[in-house]
Amino acid sequence: MAGQERMEQPRLEKLSRLIARGLDPYPHKFQRSHTAGEAARLFLETIESDPSATLPGISLAGRITAARFMGKAAFFDIRDGSGKMQVFFRRDSLGEDKYTVLHDLDLGDFLGVSGHVFKTRSGEVTLEASGFAILAKALRPLPEKWHGLVDVEKRYRQRYLDLIANEEVRELFIKRSRIISAIRNFMNARGFIEFETPVLQPMYGGALARPFITHHHALGQDLYPRIALELYLKRLLIGGFDRVYEIGRVFRNEGISTRHNPEFTMMESYEAYADYNDVMEMTENLVSSLASEILGTTQISFAGEVINLDPPWRRLPLRQAIVDKCGIDFMQYPDSNSLRARMKETGLQVDPLKDRGRLIDELLSTYVEPDLHQPTFLIDYPVDMSPLAKLHRKEAGLVERFEAFICSMEVANSFSELNDPREQLERFNRQRETHAAEIERAKAAGELPETEMVDDDFITAMEYGMPPAGGLGVGIDRLVMLLTDRQSIREVILFPQLKTKQGRGEE
């Protein structure tokens, strides 16, 4: 900390001198006329008709990112959200007193400048300042621009410094915003309506995941930050909306990895009278249209591999995929004990408490996922893995479900939605019986189990009649990873979850 204090001391001394001059280093407002980008474009349009023209009456504001003093003149670069502009200060036009103030400014300070725009002999568009105002004095130095900010943990923990130092990071998050907007536009154009559903819920459900828990003091009850958007969106289908979706944060109290963050963004949609075949077509069109709109191509590069997002994507039955990779046909093993014994023969170390559905999921993640590089729909899952999906209309023991994989990552999940309330309740109860030992173990440890809860209110809603529907869940963060060629989910989340450090600030 002592080193940081030494670096701050000169800035504090400059701050004191500014205040002693009667200047306010933190004013309430500055009236700017243009952004840097707007001013540059307007000037270039002006000189097309008159090459000797200047552009008067321009006021810009931004952060100082470079400063060069040359006797009676100084050149600063200031940057705002649109880009940077060089600013030229002349002592003779500003006056000695005001020009001297420039020496008490530092890189990182915010500055407002007014003047006229011209082009220097070297061809750089520049604003010659007739006046300026200090807008915020930075008390800590920025990362050295020529080195950038390369410490990965510091980049994630202090994302504001990452955004200041690394232009490509700013561009990445602008692209993320455009991707989310494009998803909304795609869904809205297909007649879907966006809704907002509760983040805090009395029951957690819609996925097999361990939740976080909080307590509402006024209500005197525990609540759970949602682990999925599903069950409340389905209530909207019951209420009479035919096409609904939501883009929102969900929270799962699970591990952290390059593809998992405890809070992440999902888009879930539900379309009445559709099934998983309709949703497959919508999903491949959604992803390919996003790539075309955002990147200008459906041929993307991820980790050095060219990926073709053009529809149609491959459809591959999960059963066949697992048989092809490890020779195990899960349909021949109707219970967890027989399947576990068969898996041990392949050399897998199998958790004795995992049920049949989770054992099949382990076969999928171990043998199949690593080779799913080009876009692939794995289809037709066992009912053990999918308590909210409708039974397959042709294959006994399976449900109509798909997961979409690209570059070995699951990016989407879909069902032909179960809409029989009697069967839904039976599935919930059967799942609780299957996971009884796990639930008791979790309770004994003071933890919450990773299993579907019986949501009586949802069952009640279903009893009023829910139309057949096709549902979809899309992982926004992983989709952004694919479209920006980032191999870690932390790269595409502005403020990823990290273990809290003691003390203020980061050195």
What per-residue confidence (pLDDT) applies to 146? 43
| Both tokens assigned to 484 | 């920006």
Q: How far apart are CA 170 and CA 156, in angstroms?
A: 13
Q: For the whole model, what pTM was predicted? A: 0.91
Report angle CA 208, 210, 212 to the nearest 5 degrees.
Answer: 140
What per-residue confidence (pLDDT) applies to 457? 94
**DSSP class of residue 489?**
G
Q: How far apart are CA 187 and CA 283, in angstroms?
A: 11
Strands 125-136 and 469-475: unpaired
Provide φ and ψ at 175, rounded to 5°. Answer: -65, -40
Residues 6+ apart with CB under 8 A from 122: none
DSSP string covering 198-214: -SEESS--SSS-PPP-E
Using the structure block, give the residue that is written with the tokens 């989910």.
489
Q: How many CA atoms within 13 Å lie on the side-chain side of 470?
A: 16
Among 433, 443, 421, 456, smallest CA distance to 203 is for 456
CA dihedral 307, 312, 317, 318 (to 10 degrees): 30
| Residue 100, amino acid | T
Residue burial 458-470, b: 16+ Cβ < 10 Å; e: rest = beebbeeebeebb
Among 120, 115, 112, 113, smallest CA distance to 56 is for 115
Q: Which residues does residue 391 pair with via DSSP β-bridges, in sequence order?
A: 399
Using the structure block, give the residue that is written with the tokens 């919930």.
428
The tens-digit pLDDT sequence of the chain (507 residues) is 445 566 689 999 999 999 999 999 999 999 999 999 999 999 999 998 888 888 999 999 999 999 999 989 999 999 999 999 999 999 999 999 999 999 999 999 999 999 999 999 999 999 999 999 999 999 999 877 545 566 788 889 999 999 998 889 999 999 999 999 999 999 999 999 999 999 999 998 888 889 999 999 999 999 999 999 999 999 999 999 999 999 999 999 988 999 999 999 999 999 999 999 999 999 999 999 999 999 999 999 999 999 999 999 999 999 999 999 999 999 999 999 999 999 999 889 888 888 899 999 999 999 999 999 999 999 999 999 998 999 999 999 999 999 999 999 999 999 999 999 999 999 888 877 776 666 666 666 666 766 666 789 999 999 999 999 999 999 999 999 999 999 999 999 999 998 887 665 554
